[in-house]
Amino acid sequence: MGLFDVFKGGGGGIKKHVARVANKRAQQHERWESIQVLAADGSDEALRALLTRFTVRVDPSITDGEEKNAAFQGIVKNGDAAIGPVRDFLETADTLAWPLKILKELQTDEEVTATLLELLSKMDIEYERDPQKKIDIIASFEERKDPRIVEAVTRFLGDMNETARFHAVCAIFAQDEAQQAIEALTKALLAEESVRVRMMILDGFVERGWSITESKDEVTKKLPNGYSLGKKGEVRKRQ
């Protein structure tokens, strides 16, 4: 077997690199070599192995950052071949940052949004020990515009996690179609115990000039200090 065959993974040449790329006990130069070999190989197995580098942290932090950036560059340079592995990794990863950063390089904004919406559709609103990934996905829609977002995030107005509810409100108001959720937002306001979530909902109503026409008396009881309802149900905020 020639050197080129080993570098390209011929005859199982990448196996040790697959095992080593995310091994915290490996020497720095060994992990670095594995990153380069896997990036050059570009096979499905190699790309999936490269993605595992984002699941561990090594010391010192500067080394960790350099290696992760090298893995990022190595995956991105393989183009469309990396999309499947990255999408699969996004489903299992604990955090959103790196796989989302990669997808942004490989897909259009519309395609990235579709990927995130698909992932969010598999999540629920019940209690979970670590909801951060769900929160990150919902929060990412605050910087995106798509007609599908309002419908997708509205159910998270009833999430068990307060931060998820807060970002669901923010994501809805970031959309041109936010008005579709007026009824759901009003119901959420009535059920909400968090003052900051109620204030975010009310601020959105104020900004858009929306009125609350149903359950006005109940809503009035839920208004934080500084907010009031006009005769026609318009939400007012004291300056």
Give the DSSP H/E element, type plus range, for residue 73.
Answer: helix 61-76
As a whole number, mean pLDDT of residues 145-149 equals 97
9 CB-contact burial (10 Å; exposed 0-12 / middle 13-18 / buried 19+)? buried
pLDDT at 74: 98
Taking the CA atoms of residue 199, residue 183, residue 172 and residue 109 in that order, the dihedral angle to the nearest 10 degrees is 180
- Using alpha carbons only, give the angle 36, 40, 44 rounded to the nearest 5 degrees: 110
Q: 38-95 pLDDT, tens per residue?
A: 999 999 999 999 999 999 999 999 999 999 999 999 999 999 999 999 999 999 999 8
* Mean of per-residue pLDDT scores for the chain: 93
Q: What pLDDT does 10 receive?
A: 45
**Confidence band of 12 (pLDDT split at 50, 70, 90):** low
Residue 9 has pLDDT above 70, yes or no: no
Sign of the CA dihedral with 193 first, then 194, 195, and 196 last: negative
Q: Taking residues 17-39, what's their average pLDDT?
A: 96
Closest C-alpha among 40, 117, 51 to residue 83: 51
- Which pLDDT belongs to residue 214? 84
pTM, two decimals, is 0.88
Neighbours of 125 (CB within 10 A): 17
Q: Check residues 170 and 8 and name the one with the higher pLDDT.
A: 170
Q: Is the pLDDT reported for residue 2 higher than 80?
A: no
Rounded distance, CA 52 to CA 114, Å? 24
pLDDT of residue 4: 41
Judge whether 53 and 85 are in contact, CB under 8 Å: no
Q: Are 195 and 166 in contact (CB under 8 A)?
A: no
User: How many CB atoms lie under 10 A from the CB of residue 151?
Assistant: 15
CB atoms within 10 A of CB 83: 17
